[in-house]
């Protein structure tokens, strides 16, 4: 009888794990690249010079601007994109960013890793930490936090709808895990299945938030 060559189960799991990690690295690199392109024209801080009045009595006014100032005014999107895109932070930029964060989180409540991130040239991990923090503290009431988890929840809902009937708990768990893996590979981040399950279990709350 002809013998079929088989790959050991533990080797298959190792290969799958390596493929998942590779996809996540690619997804994260793409996310960083897109953010870098979007923030290429932007800056953390700049000064606008406004000239007004008739020619014989011109008035010159300077106004602080830039991504950090926009965050202070309520729009953190530019600052988050700049951090995701690894835009270098000058020493003065770090001070301004620290001052902004301090308006939302008391300095005595800062974790050690945040203090370190703002006291040196940020590492890859520092940029991710700062971007996540700014996105969280700058979220407007009713806004959606953790967009990747919400995307995974929508994907899981779409897959579940293909059954058209109530599905077993084990199948639902498998679908949620699959959706988290797909979105995680796309974004280069970890998507927690329990977070997605919680979103799916509270559709009315999610509808109320996203409809504002």
* Distances, alpha carbon 134 to alpha carbons 21, 100, 103, 127, 172, in Å: 26, 9, 11, 11, 33
Beta bridge partners of 49: 62
Q: Which of the listed residues 137, 158, 174 is the one where a domain comes to its end? A: 137
Question: What whole-number distance in Å separates Cα of residue 118 and Cα of residue 94?
Answer: 6
Residue 142 lies in a domain: no
The mean predicted confidence, pLDDT, of the chain is: 78
Residue 176: Cβ-neighbour burial (10 angstroms; 0-12, 13-18, 19+): buried
pLDDT tens digit string along 66-94?
899 989 888 898 999 899 889 999 889 99
Biggest CA pair distance of the chain: 102
The DSSP call for residue 107 is: G
Residue 30 lies in a domain: no
Domain count, the chain: 2
The lowest-confidence range among 82-91, 94-103, 181-190 is: 181-190
Q: Is 30 helix (H, G, I), strand (E, B) or coil?
A: helix
What is the pLDDT confidence band of residue 8, given thresholds at 50, 70 and 90?
A: low
Residue 63 lies in a domain: yes
Residue 131 lies in a domain: yes
Regarding whether 162 and 132 lie in a shared domain, the answer is: no
Structural domain of 173: 147-210
Question: Whole-model pTM?
Answer: 0.57
Regarding whether 153 and 93 lie in a shared domain, the answer is: no
Using the predicted structure, report yes or no on whether residue 63 has a pLDDT greater than 70: no
What is the pLDDT confidence band of residue 209, given thresholds at 50, 70 and 90?
A: very low
Regarding whether 151 and 198 lie in a shared domain, the answer is: yes
**Pair 117, 129: CB distance under 8 Å:** yes
Question: What whole-number distance in Å separates Cα of residue 153 and Cα of residue 201?
Answer: 10
């Amino acid at each position: 009888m002809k013998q079929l060559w088989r790959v050991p189960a533990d080797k298959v799991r190792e290969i799958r794990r390596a493929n998942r990690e590779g996809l996540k690295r690619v997804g994260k690199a793409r996310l960083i690249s897109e953010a870098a392109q979007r923030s290429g024209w932007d800056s953390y801080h700049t000064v606008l010079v406004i000239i007004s009045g008739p020619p014989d009595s011109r008035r010159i006014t300077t106004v602080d601007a830039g991504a950090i100032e926009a965050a202070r005014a309520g729009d953190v999107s530019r600052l988050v994109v700049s951090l995701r895109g690894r835009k270098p932070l000058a020493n003065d930029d770090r001070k301004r960013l620290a001052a902004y964060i301090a308006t939302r989180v008391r300095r005595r409540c800062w974790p050690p890793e945040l203090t370190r991130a703002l006291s040196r040239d940020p590492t890859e991990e520092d940029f991710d930490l700062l971007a996540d923090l700014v996105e969280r503290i700058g979220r407007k009431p009713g806004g959606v936090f953790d967009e990747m988890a919400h995307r995974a929840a929508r994907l899981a809902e779409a897959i579940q709808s293909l059954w058209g009937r109530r599905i077993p708990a084990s199948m639902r768990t498998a679908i949620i895990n699959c959706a988290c893996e797909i979105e995680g590979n796309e974004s280069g981040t970890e998507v927690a299945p329990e977070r997605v399950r919680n979103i799916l279990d509270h559709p009315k709350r999610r509808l109320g938030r996203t409809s504002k």
